[in-house]
Amino acid sequence: MATPEGHPEIDWDNWKPAGPGDVRSPCPAINALANHGILPHDGKNITKAMAVKALTSALHLDATTASVFAWGGVAANPNAEEHNFDLNHVDKHGWIEHDVSLSREDIAFGSNSEFNKERWAEVWKIYKEGALTEGGASGVGPEETNWKSASKARYFRVKQSKERHEAAGKEFGYGIKEVILSYGESALFLNMLGKDGAAPLEWVRILFEEERWPYKEGWRPPKIVDQSMMRHVITKLMEANEDKAEEAVLVGLGTVRALEAAVASLIKVSSPSYCSVM
């Protein structure tokens, strides 16, 4: 039994993908918890307490951030009288789910919940090319992410989504909330899988493609992922974005300074649900 030190109740060898009748969310990290049996494998009837316990005990996410996701899931349940949620409720568009996912299609063009091989292949190519030219942030080299590649892949999806919406004559909704969630989702997997922007590409691939936490490949849960760590990584990703002036204009803030100030202000006073869609 593969169990992290201090958490003997978690068996990371226990993994089975979703089957008939099971439901999943747009977030591979949350789906992986269900596949490992840490959340109900069928993905249904998850209470806030169950979600918080899974996120804090298995992934060591701080309780505040875990509670925000759990609350968002319960609030996404179309039955307001229920005090639980199914994982597929999280794909409610415009709530915490949004366009420009790293691995899901924009809702205007397909499923915003299911893994999309085409979208992910484009992102993966940027990670691979960035690793070969820049090396990992730790200097270990070419099989890691880095600030530049992670930031470039994130904004590639923003630009691509905008262009596709415009070409199809569809409205593209991308404001400051989507900016924060988009940065936050990249920051979350970088914090969970690596350190200082460097996450082994194989671990990243396993999480996104298999929806499995790569314990047998050597990954271990971080000691803690809290809001200060999320703010740090979001700041580093913003610094690495070569198109942040363009992004500032896109969201209607005009300048990089205004964009940075808006993001810093919002993530300081609130705890966004970063794991809404990756």
Global pTM exceeds 0.75? yes
Residue 238 lies in a domain: yes
Residue numbers of the domain that contains 248: 28-269
CATH code where residue 33 lies:
1.10.489.10
Q: What is the pLDDT of residues 162-193, one digit of tens each?
A: 999 999 999 999 999 899 889 999 999 999 99
Residues 6+ apart with CB under 8 A from 269: none
C-alpha to C-alpha distance for 95 and 32, rounded to whole angstroms: 21
Question: How far out from the chain centre does Cα 159 lie?
Answer: 18
Give tens-digit pLDDT for 43-90: 999 999 999 999 999 999 999 889 988 998 999 999 989 999 999 999
Domain contains 275: no
* Angle (CA) 128 217 134, round 5°: 25
Model confidence at 278, pLDDT cuts 50, 70, 90, reads: low
Residue 15 counted as domain residue: no
Residue 263 falls within a domain, yes or no? yes
pLDDT level of residue 139 (50, 70, 90 thresholds): very low
Domain-embedded: residue 21 = no
Report yes or no on 11 lying in a domain. no
Question: Average pLDDT in the 257-278 region?
Answer: 70
Q: Give the chain's end-to-end CA distance (angstroms, integer).
A: 29
Per-residue model confidence (pLDDT) at position 265: 78
Query: Is 231 exposed, middle or buried (CB count within 10 Å of its CB: 0-12, 13-18, 19+)?
Result: middle
For residue 276, pLDDT over 90 is answered with no
Residue 19 lies inside a defined structural domain of this protein: no
The per-residue pLDDT for 131 is 83
Domains of the chain: total: 1
Q: Determine the Cα–Cα distance for residues 263 and 249; give it in Å rounded to an integer.
A: 14
* Cβ atoms within 10 Å of 77's Cβ, excluding its own: 17
Instruction: Note the maximum CA span of the chain.
Output: 53
Distance between CA atoms of residues 183 and 197, nearest Å? 13
Q: Is residue 239 part of a domain?
A: yes
pLDDT of residue 138: 45
